[in-house]
Structure 1
Amino acid sequence: MLAPQRQQAILAQVRRAGGVRVADLVAELGVSDMTIRRDLEVLAERGLVIKVHGGATAPPSGVADEPGFAAKAERQRAEKAALAEAAAAHVQPGSAVALSAGTTTVRIAQRLVDVPGLTVVTNSIPVADVFYRAGRPDQTVVLTGGTRTPSDALVGPIAIASLRDLHVDQLFLGVHGMSTEAGLTTPNLLEAETDRALIAATRRLVVVADHTKWQTLGIASIAPLTAAHLLITDAEPPTGVRDLLTVELTDQ
């Protein structure tokens, strides 16, 4: 296979799945790791993909663009790990917490599997799976029903109805984007409604988002920045944000 043909095949897979791994492409196309990395470099220079650790993802195309879960999971891996560690420090044994859908909240779930006596409410299939695989008998996990999105969130009327009568101590909310004007945003209209239902069920809203989320705009606003009791992030936010809410910075 010639390089242009190979690169076209890689690009088609990125567009179809939202992202690719170098190891998978090596096995699928029967070429070396270095060859795949050169192909990704060529595609990245043309603006057709975004190189990430171990592979590449599709670039965002607009406010309604919603990358798949696998694609988002490869972005800002170190930052998400640090955010998850900081978020988990706020959870007490025996408390009830909610985790929204997202790759950052999955990292938080991985940090919470050792906290005894937790009740966890989530609309994220991957989050629920983290706790299911841990198999702790002293933890209770409530997974909402609903319609599945590309980011593996369960959304819509069924999800909202299941949250209506629930009450949790705190919610860890991942977001697609943040700005002082639009607030917390998502590229999925139904996910915005479901996230608002999660917010209504909690006593304390903790937004967990890395620096790339600033000035990124999703089509639907979830809530204003001031709805958050705490923002955990990895870099100093834009001017004026600290006047609106409490900010905790990680070391990452």
Structure 2
Amino acid sequence: MYDCVVLARQRQEVILDEVRRSGAVQVHALVTRLGVSDMTIRRDLDVLAKRGLVEKVYGGATSVVGRSTDEPGFEAKSVRALAEKDAISARAASLIRPGTAIGISAGTTTWTFARHLDDVPDITVVTNSIRVADVLRTDRPDRTVVLTGGVRTPSDALVGPVAVQSLRSLHLDMVFLGVHGMADGPGFTTPNLNESETDRALVEAGGRLVVLADHTKWGMVGISTIADLSEADVLVTDEGIADDAREILAARVGELIVADVPESARVAE
């Protein structure tokens, strides 16, 4: 019995070390690495989650988010609210018309959004996201992709004076903004000060602001405000948004769009 306890603690230390290093772990990878069953890993994650050391998500766990300066890495955020992000992205992509110049900020929701743009012809995309630019990299003659320069953040965003300067010289039809959190008062926020300055420059470059934020973002507050709720011409969220939040957002943003999440997608998660 004592040996089993020691082994469990050793496994959990390995799991915690990996979460601290990369921001997230996946069950199947831990099964291979530690040579134990799927159920054993899930029990370990349950123990760690109950101690408040990790946050369980579909297929694994991520670091715990809470403080206004906490910024999980891209991989940690990419396993959260997958079905919701996909539904939001599909709905947001339908807002774009051919011949449009758009801006796309960094983040996992906007990365998902970029993957829904294949059917939109004749667009110019400006982004400060390495991941978004990779998704849109193509030989299509009807698409131009502009990647700003700058300093790389944990969200794979390019930020800082170089990025800000390049954005301030541009005039875009629409900007699609992903956010860390949204709340009545603080507005749309981020935990990264440099990223907020760059995102504000992107917002200012756009004629119309479309914010993409799943329901888990409500009530989260990062250290720096990107924009007030009222600055969003459109907010696209999902049907998991609470009734009180929906009421506040409907009154503050220009248009509130609530995307339906297919039941099949919920089951898949």
Tell me, yes or no, whether TM beats 0.5. yes
Q: Within 2, Cα distance between the matches of 1:164 and 1:61? A: 32
**Which structure 2 residue ranges, 5 or more long, are not aligned?**
1-5, 262-269
CA deviation string 1:214-239 (max 9, x = no partner):
11010001111111101111125344
TM-score, normalisation: structure 1: 0.96
Cross-structure match for 1:37: 42
- Corresponding residue of 1:64: 69
Partner Cα distance (2:27, 2:104) in 1: 31
Give distance in 1, aligned partners of 2:31 and 2:55.
Answer: 18
Q: Percent identity?
A: 59
Cα distance in 2 for partners of 1:79, 1:213 equals: 11
Deviations 1:15-43 (Å, cap 9, x if unpaired)? Answer: 11110111211222222222211211111
Report what 1:243 is aligned to. Answer: 251
**Structure 1 portions without partners, runs of 5+:** none
Q: 1:170 is matched with which residue: 170, 174, 177? A: 174
* Structure 1 runs, 4 residues or longer, greater than 6 Å off: none
Q: Distance in 2 between matches of 1:82 and 1:75?
A: 13
1:156-167 aligned within 5 A: 156-167=160-171
Structure 2 SS opposite 1:184: strand
Per the alignment, residue 130 of structure 1 pairs with: 135
Distance in 2 (CA, whole Å) between partners of 1:77 and 1:28 is 25
Q: 1:73 to 1:182 in 2, by over 3 A?
A: same
Secondary structure of the equivalent of 1:203? strand
Q: SS where residue 132 of structure 2 aligns?
A: helix
Q: Which residue of 1 aligns with 2:158?
A: 154
- 78-87 vs 89-98, which moves further: 89-98
Between 31-40 and 223-232, the greater mean CA deviation after superposition: 31-40
What does 1:1-252 correspond to in 2, within 5 Å?
2-132=7-137, 134-234=138-238, 235=241, 236=243, 237-245=245-253, 246-252=255-261
- TM-score for both structures, normalised by structure 2: 0.90
Post-superposition CA distance 1:127-158 (Å, at most 9, x none): 000011x4423211000010000011110001
Please give the alpha-carbon distance, in whole angstroms, between the structure 1 residues aligned to 2:40 and 2:224.
40
Deviates more, 1:109-118 or 1:191-200: 109-118
